[in-house]
Chain A
Amino acid sequence: MKRILVGIKRVVDYNVRIRVKPDGSGVAIDGVKMSINPFDEIALEEALRIRERGGADEVLAASVGPADCQQQLRTALAMGADRALHVQADGVLEPLVVARALLKLVEREQPLLVILGKQAIDDDNGQTGQLLAALWNRPQATYASKLELADGSARVTREVDAGLETLEVDLPAVVTTDLRLNEPRYVKLPDIMKAKKKPLDTLGLEALGVSPRQQLRLVRFEPPPQRQKGIRVKDAAELVAALKKKGLL
């Protein structure tokens, strides 16, 4: 069975403007719209396309987190994942804990490829893929904008600061997605109905043998400093004069 494991994180929707709680204890997320992390949606789309091309037989969506994550896993199933695994875990989950949980799933499921988002848009850590690859002792190809599977290896084009870099990695490997890898499909209503019948299994984090240890204490959340609103200039001449006066031109 050629299997692809995709990580799905439940995050505050891309379009929500978050607010820091006045007491600095966190970010107010009660009642706000939650979604699949956009980079994970791209990861899932890529896995589905590989399966549709015949490069894989099964796409498995996995999420580590509280019970609510099952909503996002149902969405993943509606998009086309064959089955889903939910690792139930509450409280603060550091990337290293999530990577350890994913490693346990990898050991059970023996995927040919793991595709994760390059970062989650809530904590912006950008660590889980690399951590998993390190713990698994397998290749990593981060920030992928193109992914081609061959027999036993993959060619991955990465978006790096210098431009585009291409790597060849032996399989199994971990790939993390960048924005331009693909454009995820929309979920259709009949697929949402069908997804209800697809298998979604729940496992406990500690039953998997992973300790939910927290190594970084969250001390304080603060809103960022605001920039002062500036002035409007009427034309190019006034703008250039103002910038010259400030020594910027």
Chain B
Amino acid sequence: MSARILVVAEHDGTRLNPSTAKCVSCAGTLAGAEIVVAVCAADAAAVAAQAAQLAGVSRVLTVENPANRHALAAVLAPQVVALAAPFSHVLGPSTTFGKDLMARVAGLLDAPQVSDIMAIESAQRFRRPIYAGNAILTVELAGGGKVVGTVRAASFEAAATGGSAPIEKVALHLELPTHTRFVSVSAAKTDRPDLQTARRVISGGRALGSADGFKILYSLADKIGAAVGASRAAVDAGYAPNEMQVGQTGKIIAPELYVAVGISGAIQHLTGIKDARTIVAINKDGEAPIFEVADFGLVGDLFQIIPEIEKLVG
């Protein structure tokens, strides 16, 4: 029996999050699988149209409800569960959205969850990192039931576009919980590329010294079209906001170019960048562990080097 995979779309109401295309591509590694994308939204049309274009998707299901205006796991989970019945696998991205939601779905389904899937070996076998990526574990579903998974986006290329899957409206008659209410979201407005999908990322550590110190990174990033990230130490110190944190407990990224500036390279940080194609380390301490994983290392004063690089690329 071939696998039937339901992928739960992440979106902001208008735009499909790129993590969904990665989930579709993860699902597509399972030969012969039927891939269906679920879009739960207040108004699903725009997002569903984007999901329908993803290569490999056979259908898009939309569930429209004003309660879906903000993505609340407690509200979304019963809807996903209602859609999940005919599927063998229910996947979502390993983003804060997916991690929050999918485990609630697993709880309601009484199904096991495989977190941070980095490879699907068969319909029952998955590989995932544990211990901050210091070990890779292969797990196998013991019974024949449903499995829930979150997909480690950095392990997969985004599915191509160009498809035209049919979109089906599903009417669910569920009493959704009202015990969880959205109040607000605050996100810094930025014109820079999204950290999780950017081709180039420049990250700063505590050595930047202050929020002001980060300005030299923003300036260089804008010149080369890069996103800016930060180490946990820099975020803890208040030099950068939490959404910029890269690492085990922050964002796991896989850009083509990663430039670590004044970051010593704690294991928890390295786990967030080990899929980067090329890593550059700039640090005044030549013994810093970041140099162990860097393709190009430069020892020196970052406050001199960064402006110099900016001049050279300009």
Contact = CB atoms under 8 A, between A and B. Distances in A.
Query: Are A and B interaction partners?
Result: yes
B183 interface: yes
B242 A227 contact: no
Interface string A127-161: 11111111101111111010000000001001111
B2 interface: no
Given A216-B141, A224-B134, A235 B251 contact: no
B136 A221 contact: yes
B112 A215 contact: yes
B309 A233 contact: no
B139 interface: yes
A34 interface: no
Interface string A110-123: 00000000110111
B305 A230 contact: no
B126 to A, nearest CB: 9
B131 A122 contact: yes
Interface stretch (A74-82, A92-100, A198-206): A92-100
Contacts of B108: 134
Interface string A219-249: 1111110011111111111011011001011
B166 interface: no
B106 interface: yes
Contact of A160 (B177, B185, B224, B236): B185
Given A12-B131, A132-B107, A160 B96 contact: yes
B171 interface: no
B116 A124 contact: yes
Contacts of B111: 215
Given A121-B248, A166-B183, A140 B131 contact: no
Interface residues of B, number: 87
B37 interface: no
B305 A231 contact: no
A216 B112 contact: yes
B259 to A, nearest CB: 9
Nearest to B243: A163
Q: Is the interface of A mostly helix, strand, loop or mixed?
A: mixed
A82 B156 CA distance: 47
Interface string B288-314: 000111111111100001001100110
Contact of A126 (B103, B129, B180, B200): B103
Interface stretch (B44-52, B53-61, B71-79, B207-215): B71-79
B168 interface: no
A224 B188 contact: no
B274 interface: yes
A197 interface: no
Contact of A170 (B138, B140, B179): B179
A216 B142 contact: yes
Interface in A153-182: 155, 158-170, 173, 178-180
A189 interface: no
A130 B130 contact: no
Contacts of B186: 163-165
B132 interface: yes
A130 to B, nearest CB: 4
Interface string B107-144: 11011111110000000010001111111111111110
Contacts of B106: 96, 127, 130-131, 134
Contacts of A240: 309, 312-313
Contacts of B267: 17
Most chain A C-beta atoms within 10 Å of own C-beta, residue among B101, B200, B312: B312
Contacts of A126: 99, 103, 115
A138 B309 CA distance: 53
B22 interface: no
B249 A119 contact: yes
Contacts of B296: 230-233, 239, 242-243
Nearest to B244: A163
B107 A163 contact: no
- The residue in B111, B179, B300 that gathers the most chain A C-beta atoms within 10 A of its C-beta is B179
Given A164-B186, A219-B139, A240-B309, A229 B292 contact: yes
Contact of B179 (A123, A139, A224): A139
29 contacts: A18-B131, A27-B135, A95-B103, A118-B249, A123-B130, A127-B113, A127-B115, A134-B106, A140-B74, A140-B180, A143-B100, A159-B243, A162-B187, A165-B182, A167-B72, A167-B182, A168-B181, A173-B179, A178-B249, A180-B236, A215-B142, A218-B139, A221-B135, A222-B135, A223-B134, A224-B135, A248-B256, A248-B257, A249-B313
Interface of B: 12, 72-74, 77, 95-97, 99-108, 110-116, 125, 129-143, 145, 177, 179-188, 196, 200, 224, 232, 235-236, 241-243, 248-249, 251, 256-257, 267, 274, 278-280, 291-300, 305, 308-309, 312-313
